[in-house]
Amino acid sequence: MRDPDALIARAGVRGDPERDQHFLVDDRVLDRLPGYLPDDADTSHVLEIGGGTGGLTDRLLSAADRVTVVERDPTLAAFLREEFTEEIEADRLSVIEGDALEIELPSFTASVSNLPYGVSSEIAFRLLPAGRPLVLMFQLEFAERMAAAPGTDEYGRLSVTAGHYADIEIVEPIPKAAFAPPPAVESAVVRAVPRTPDYEVPDDERFMALVRAAFTQRRKTMRNAIRNTTHISGIEDPEALIEAAGEELMRKRAGNVPPSEFARLSRLAARSDS
């Protein structure tokens, strides 16, 4: 395996916190990351967002048939093409220079990525709807909110929306010292295993809008949150929805409402607005 510090030296670069660049340099963590994919994961085409200097890319090439790396920094993209010339010529690696939030992502069977933290949420929600297993590095606080259960302090819009697409699990906390330069926050590896929800929604967009609206007023009861956020939820007749949903649910606050109940609300809203 390529040494991550040697890769940085050959690239002639330094991580830049101002540009959200923190290179993962702990060999042991890099070696473990591909193994966090589910045992039955299809690794015929693994996508990596934010290849950096290629420490993780190198490990993924040992675990996958083919790898595509998306790297927005032109200098790093050029380095990856030079460092991994043989793998590119063997059609085992593709390097795409571009912003993962703007380009059309290729189809992939799994993704393992050390995401740029400043845009990790937006990238995660580009990947989750694809219904593929993911192993992603996040800020610890973000990861905890992503994996949180109803009734906990961390539970919120992120928990509901991420859990709509996958079973979310924190598989390893990562210390600051694993990166160069060390970030200001602790990190964590999250595994997302795609799942079909055990509830039905009229459509994802309506469901997500209702969840977003409710959590903008998480300190209020669901009754008041529904009344106050029709400009976000798009609910046309909030009083009809409140009556149909029932007193028990309307007394709760969003932080104690499980995803299945948000789904029921979105179905009731679709009926009351039709």
In tens, the pLDDT along 197-247 reads 999 999 999 999 999 999 999 999 999 999 999 999 999 999 999 999 999
- Domain containing 179 equals 4-194
Q: Same domain for 250 and 154?
A: no
Q: Is the pLDDT of residue 261 over 80?
A: yes
Q: Report the pLDDT averaged over residues 107-111.
A: 98
Q: Count Cβ atoms below 10 Å from residue 273 Cβ, excluding itself.
A: 15
Asked if 74 and 209 sit in the same domain, the reply is no
Domain end marker among 194, 219, 234: 194
In one-letter notation, the amino acid at residue 1 is M
Residue-level pLDDT at 220: 97
Residue type, 156: G
Per-residue pLDDT averaged across 25-30, rounded? Answer: 97
Residue recorded with tokens 């009344």: 227
Structurally, how many domains does the chain consist of?
2
Token pair 């992502």 is found at: 105
Do 162 and 183 share a domain, yes or no?
A: yes
Residues 126 and 235 in one domain: no
Report the alpha-carbon distance of residue 188 to residue 201 in Å, rounded.
Answer: 31
In a domain? residue 114: yes
Judgement on whether residues 142 and 268 belong to the same structural domain of the protein:
no
Strand partners, 97: 71
Bridge-partner residues for 24, per DSSP? 179
Whether the predicted model's global pTM rises above the 0.85 cut? yes
Binding residues: 22, 24, 50, 71, 99, 114
Mean pLDDT of the chain: 95
Q: What percent of the chain has pLDDT over 70?
A: 99
Mark the binding-site residues for S-adenosyl-L-methionine, compressed into ranges: 22, 24, 50, 71, 99, 114
